[in-house]
Amino acid sequence: MRTSLVLLSARLLDPLTGEFLPQTALAVSGGRISALGDDRRIRALADPSTTVIDLRGAVVTPGLVDGHLHPVSGAELTHGLDLSGCADLDAVREALAGEVRTLAPGAWLHAWGLDPNVFGERPVEAAALAPVLDDVPALLLLFDAHSMLASPRALELAGVDGPRTFAQAAEVVCDDAGRPTGLLLEDAACELVERAAPRPTHVERRARLAAALRDMAAAGLTGGHAMDANGDSLALYAELDAAGELPVRLRVSPWCQPGADAAALRALIEQQGAGGALWRTEGVKLFMDGTVDNGTAWLERPDCHGESTHSFWPDPAAYTHIVGELHRAGVPTATHAIGDAAVRHVLDSVERAMATGERRVRHRVEHIETVPDDTLRRFARLGVIASMQPTHCCDYTRADHTDNWSRRLGEERASRAWRCRDLWDSGARVVLGSDWPIAPFPPLGVMAGARHRRPSRDLSLPPHGPEQALTALEALQGMTVNAAYAAGEEHEAGRLAVGHRADLTVLADDPLTTASTDLPDLPVLLTVLDGRPTHRDASL
């Protein structure tokens, strides 16, 4: 098999040891690393058709993989006004006013990234943004993507004029008179109003997704664990893959919602393994709760507003049954569980499923924002993977616990925020990700956040829970070897070894010795997927 790519004069970083390999070059054939050696030996493997790149001392790591992201929905949700940089209500009103001036009459305003902390002690409601949105149909997605604010005109167009009942945890928040405040909690409520807004065409959605994936590759990502397969997501991946335009390798886990019957479960099981050259369906995504910030997490004790007391599944036992059925079929699960009660119930369900037989399945818990000590130790004992997003802690909470998340939880639980260090030390396999579009996807920023735990907008501010920081090597492992293990791919991914996939990230310098606060700005010089460059800096 011919050599398609040769990288010379490289520093090859081993994420297992944190040391550089003795070799300085590698060759790629058939999408795999086919040889490691010195420059002279590897150069000799090239023929006239081989792409040869002199890295001039740049650092090569196994391809960085985001352990939790939403490519299709993210590409759609981030199309519109970005409110993530607004620190107070005045800034939000100013940004909205500027956007309103650009709208055609009757057009909808879409915005995303709204931080509930901008409301301070005020309720999160559309009235706080009057009169900017008067007569404007607007949907403002809060940063957690589990809630949104709808303007009065948007509610009117959608015919939402009072409370609604849902089959899962969701709410149209209303005032004492039964009038909607504009706050919609969870997907079922949000969809009531979203259906009234104009929808992008398939061509538009495909273009937005392709652009987002190209940006991910340019940031150094070679892979991602995609936690949704809604609507035509799989068709979009298939189209891009067939056209040779899929620059990120994707492992896609479709959702299983409350109310799923035997036929729906059978379809999810039969869907496993479907895919293409660079994407495949593997695993099932479930939700055990919502979010702390909007009062829909499942906590063992209510939050300061008396909320966050219920599971996303009206009958938690039904969730346990589903996990058992998927486990017996050999299907790994990934469950969104933020509150302590939610995490505990997921672990209980996995333990019960494991008791039915010897089959080993790599189940995961996603987010794990606050858990007590006794819960930590169960991850390693049960072999459950801890999927963490440290930048959520960095950018949406504060060290002094004056943020909305911390105030809702109270001092005790807020001090147990994103326990990456404790989970790692307890023996759990920790995987890192962004949860994009909830937080930015650049992987160097994710690794930096795991190390410094400071707000990315102002790194001079104190860290939230610095004792929970990971080391530079652990952060790298969280997006390489551990991500490969979580996907059951440790035999072919996550390391620089002959026979492993040629999914590679090339950086201007060593990410392990670069200061955590400087890491997000470390240049990504080259990204290689399946032996093919998907991003190449002009300096190479």
CATH code, 166: 3.10.310.70
Q: Which phi and psi angles does 40 have, rounded to 5°?
A: -65, -45
Local structure of 86: helix, strand or coil = coil
Q: Are residues 464 and 315 in the same domain?
A: yes
- Whether residue 302 sits in one domain with residue 156: no
Question: Angle at CA 22, nearest 5°, toward 40 and 56?
Answer: 55
Judge contact between 371 and 415, C-beta under 8 A.
Answer: no
Which has the higher per-residue pLDDT, 342 or 79?
342
pLDDT tens for each residue of 216-248: 999 999 999 999 888 889 999 999 999 999 999
Q: Are residues 341 and 452 in the same domain?
A: yes
Q: Which two tokens stand for residue 338?
A: 């933020």
Contact 228, 336 (CB under 8 A): no
Cβ atoms of 516 and 472 closer than 8 Å = yes
- Six-digit token pair at 471? 């080391």
- Of 444, 470, 496, the residue that ends a domain is 470
Other beta carbons less than 10 A from residue 342's beta carbon: 31
Residue 529 falls inside a structural domain: no
Report which secondary-structure segment, H or E, holds 430: strand 430-432
Overall pTM surpassing 0.85 (yes/no): yes
Please check whether residues 349 and 459 belong to one and the same domain: yes
Residues 304 and 178 in one domain: no
Q: How many separate domains does the chain show?
A: 2
Please give the pLDDT value at position 168.
80
Domain housing 115: 80-195
Cβ neighbours of residue 54 closer than 8 Å, sequence gap 6 or more? 8, 9, 540
* pLDDT attached to residue 146: 85
CATH at residue 402: 3.20.20.140
Instruction: Pick the last residue of a domain from 195, 220, 245.
Output: 195
Query: Is 249 contained in some domain?
Result: no
**Is 417 within the bounds of a domain?**
yes
pLDDT at 121 over 90: no
pLDDT of 390 reads: 96
Q: Write the CB contacts of 131 (distance below 8 Å, at least 6 apart in sequence).
A: none
Least confident of 255-269, 325-339, 346-360, 472-486: 346-360
Return the pLDDT at 57. 98
Same structural domain, 313 and 425: yes
The answer on 187 and 300 residing in a single domain is no
The highest-confidence range among 76-90, 163-177, 287-301, by mean pLDDT, is: 287-301
For the residues 282-298, what does the mean pLDDT come to? 95
pLDDT in tens, 383-442: 999 999 999 999 999 999 999 999 999 999 999 999 999 999 999 999 999 999 999 999
CA distance 293 to 30: 47
